Amino acid sequence: EAQVTQNPRYLITVTGKKLTVTCSQNMNHEYMSWYRQDPGLGLRQIYYSMNVEVTDKGDVPEGYKVSRKEKRNFPLILESPSPNQTSLYFCASRAGVRTDTQYFGPGTRLTVL
């Protein structure tokens, strides 16, 4: 089954404790991205990647890192989480063509205390 998976689905952590949210897709998509969803703000793009070893900042990259060492994986790293990073996070992927549909993972709900 074609899908985007994220782990963990739920995470409660404390300020300053490094964490990683994993994202994996099995569709051989070139393009992957991370979004955060906050009430009243919709989805905002954090980082995106056009292909292996190619990443770029989205609209709200501060406090986040990403890497793309393999085509299928695109982890999101919070080196020192803060309470304002409490949010619902979605990973997404699409094929290389810009007209293609973006497919989303199930989401990771992160709470930073």
Binding site for another protein (CB under 8 A): 4, 31, 33, 35, 40-45, 48, 50, 58-59, 90, 92, 98-99, 101-107
Minimum distance between the CB of residue 16 and another protein, rounded to whole angstroms? 28
Nearer to another protein by Cβ, of 31 and 64: the residue is 31
Nearer to another protein by Cβ, of 15 and 95: the residue is 95
Distance CA 84, CA 48 (A): 21
Nearer to another protein by Cβ, of 48 and 64: the residue is 48
Instruction: From residue 61, give the alpha-carbon distance in Å to each of 5, 26, 48, 52, 93.
Output: 21, 25, 10, 19, 18
Minimum distance between the CB of residue 105 and another protein, rounded to whole angstroms? 5
Question: How do strand 87-94 and strand 31-38 relate by DSSP bridges?
Answer: antiparallel
Distance CA 31, CA 35 (A): 13
Minimum distance between the CB of residue 6 and another protein, rounded to whole angstroms? 8
